[in-house]
Amino acid sequence: MDKTYDHRLESKIYALWENAHAFEPQGDGEPYSILLPPPNANASLHAGHAMYVIEDILVRWKRMQGYKTVWIPGTDHAGYESQYVYEKHLAKQGKSRFDFDRETLYNDIFTFVRENSGLIEDQLKKLGFSLDWSRKTFMLDSHVVETVYKTFEKLAQDGLIYRDHYIVNYCPKCGTTFADLEVTYKDQQDPMYYIQYGPFVIATVRPETMYGDTAIAVHPADPRYSAWIGKSVEVEGPLGPTTLPIIADDEIDMAFGTGVMKVTPAHDPHDFALAKKHHLPVISVINTRGKIELSAVSNLSNTNARAETTSTVQNLSTADARKKVVEYYKEKGLLVKIDEKYTHRVAVCYKSGHLIEPLVLPNWFIKMKPLAEPAINAVRTGKVKFFPTRFESQYYEWLGKFIDWPISRQTVWGIRIPVWYSTTENPDLAITYLSKTGERITGTAQELLATTSLEEIAKGLQQLRAPITAKYVISSTKPSDEYLPETDTFDTWFSSGQWPLTTLKYPEGEDFKTFYPTAVLDTMWDILFFWVARMIMLGLYMTGEVPFKTVYLHSMVTDEKGQKMSKSKGNVINPIEIVDQFGADALRISLVAGSTPGNPIAMSREKVKGYRNFSNKLWNIARFFIMQQEKGLEESGDSSAIVETSAQIIEKTNTLITSVTKNLDRFRFSDAALELYDFIWNDFANTALEQAKEFMHQKETFEVFFETYLTCLKLLHPFMPFVTESIWQELGTAKLIDRTLLIQTAWPTQKRAKMIK
């Protein structure tokens, strides 16, 4: 046995487990299953992924307890995330997604993802994760797509799917919508313009949206304006005089600005809600490219000077149009004042950082209330338990809002919504396609089909937008030649929300019949709403049972100062570099020991280094026993002096077995790790073993302490699998134990304390 432990041999140990099929479910015990939260297929390991160690501890422990255990891996297609990475790849070549038809772009991204995938799998193996790789799932596997389609079809049949104009969070740069929870906010300073608007002065940071104003709103209790409520006034707008109604609503903030608010329903969520409530028209004046588009304004009255004014802002960016509108009011003498230092919160795309543009677009929605109520009840009745329990209140708060879920995304990479539109029944479909010569052409179906074959349009199709009144067919295959597909894809959370169904191959898969519901869902608290709640909703909806019995919300990994890691801060720690330097075991236990679920856990090189020393300590204890055996053992002689020490170590070992098992049962991973460390280093190695050294040549004394050491290796194995398995194999080579795999041994039970005579 080498003098020191070499963690560089960890890959050989992992191969030993794989060759023995040790990660596959064995025996006829009670099923126990965990699903790996799917990382991006083309991602590399980051610090957060290292916290999957919690799941590995659980499955290794349950496997040793005799459960029929499986931990199923998989990767996510990551929708917009992957497309964004690929688009940056295209940009380096001087290209963009607009240079490709939808099918070609999809296939190119698929190739790109496949070529860049595999790294994450190798890195997960490097951390010792005992995943059953024979069961791995990719979120675009055919059986996954089939399940997602069936769920959508069932939702539609049950009246839970609808299509409607809705105010959405749209990123013109990325060309897609985002759910409210996916939007981030930042404080930004912009000019606040005070403008004379008929008899009122209004305050706005977005005068360019005034083309779409359809009302003026005040608070019903505001004495300054009560006489105007219910009347209409003529205001001077950038398209000439326009008549707007005065409405009253309790939502108006009397203290903001002048207490008078212009209502622009198509470009502000608050205004959109007012329009729904007061039955106001919704006029879109900004298109999906973030440009001014005034074609819908023709529905309004008073067209004086419209053509001239329209031409000055048409197709301008919102920022440039804002300058034009401000200039217009200034020339008219209607610009009262400007507050240059107005600070407000603005929504930005979490990936590109581009300003989110509230737009009214046709979208597919899921009615949340019928799905949310059973999901709330499942937690209230204990069918699903949360650790820590404090997150239950956040879960209830979010689901209790019953906000319908927009599931459309204007991306190519992902699972396309299985809907088809007849070009005959829907001549006003808005279509963008690439011609045979590569020209990007846009028009309605009726216009385009007058000069182009449907075959050419379908082949070059980039995007299709169907009016809200469009007729459609839900089908996984094309109904007939006259149909074109919906080009929107599902929100990634819709497909990943069915992860327990797709990985286990619902409804007929043997794994589904055996392992559903799964035992534990371990993830970080920040996707409690995005993912956990949606899995519970969809799992209950499709099967009638919860998808997992326990939700464990682990810690966020921070830098050693407790700061969130980010590239901009320059404090990102690569866990693979840590593993290369100190070994996977040292990193694993350092992330568990001292951590509290739901709270940050600092990743410190010094802490990891300390646990690397612990690996060496374990190794040296094994060398001591091997060397003692090589010297030879004697039958016990007069050993009265060691009786008490031997009895004490047996008793303490029994207590340790009980305590570690109980702590794992209670998801108290830190407590279990710390007591193992303390017992092995202090109680066993530094104290009991030192006291017994002079008697270790006696066979019975040797057996007592060696048995305690084997018990420690078994208890520690889920936390530090590589070093414990390496030692186990060395002990087998030395013929101190039978040649077996530690991963396949039984979890320790208490030993009877016998006195040495």
Q: What is the mean pLDDT of residues 35-46?
A: 86
Least Cα distance to 18 among 129, 117, 120, 123 occurs for 129
474: β partners? 419
Instruction: Tell me the residue type at 187.
Output: D
For 333-467, strand residue ranges (E) read 335-348, 357-366, 385-387, 405-406, 408-409, 419-422, 430-434, 440-444, 461-465
Of 92-101, 345-354, 491-500, give the range with the top mean pLDDT: 491-500
Q: What is the pLDDT of residues 680-725, one digit of tens each?
A: 999 999 999 998 888 898 998 999 999 999 999 999 999 999 999 9
Instruction: Please calculate the CA angle 89-90-96 and round it to the nearest 5 degrees.
Output: 145
For 106, phi and psi rounded to 5 degrees? -60, -50
Q: What is the pLDDT of residues 527-543, one digit of tens each?
A: 889 899 999 999 999 99
Torsion of CA 135, 138, 143, 148, to 10 degrees: 130
The region of weakest confidence among 111-125, 144-158, 432-446 is 111-125
**Helix (H), strand (E) at residue 85:** helix 79-91
In contact, 219 and 249? CB cutoff 8 Å: yes
Q: Which residues of 272-291 are buried (b: 16+ CB within 10 A; e: fewer)?
A: bebbeebebebbbbbbbebb
- What pLDDT, on the 0 to 100 scale, is given for residue 179? 64
SS (H, E, C) 367-379: CCHHHHHHHHHHH
- The secondary structure of residue 482, as a DSSP letter, is T
Q: If DSSP codes are grouped into helix, strand and coil, which group holds residue 262?
A: strand
What is the pTM assigned to this prediction? 0.86
For 548, phi and psi rounded to 5 degrees? -155, 155
- The secondary structure of residue 739, as a DSSP letter, is S
Whole-number Cα distances in Å, 209 to 274, 301, 354: 16, 17, 18
pLDDT > 50? residue 142 = yes
Rounded Cα–Cα distance for residues 140 and 619 (Å): 45
Q: What is the pLDDT of residues 286-303, one digit of tens each?
A: 998 899 988 767 544 444
Choice between 753 and 115, residue whose per-residue pLDDT is larger: 115
- What pLDDT, on the 0 to 100 scale, is given for residue 300? 47
The region of weakest confidence among 116-125, 180-189, 660-669 is 180-189
Q: In what order do the strands lie in the sheet with 232-237?
A: 232-237, 240-248, 215-218, 261-263
Q: What is the mean pLDDT of residues 568-589?
A: 87
- What pLDDT, on the 0 to 100 scale, is given for residue 303? 46
Task: Grade residue 115 by pLDDT with cuts at 50, 70 and 90.
Answer: confident
- What pLDDT, on the 0 to 100 scale, is given for residue 739? 84
Least Cα distance to 545 among 585, 584, 571, 513 occurs for 513
Q: What is the mean pLDDT of residues 404-420?
A: 93
* Domains of the chain with bracketed CATH: 184-348 (3.90.740.10), 418-487 (no CATH), 605-744 (1.10.730.10)
Structure tokens at 482: 């006259």
Rounded Cα–Cα distance for residues 50 and 351 (Å): 23
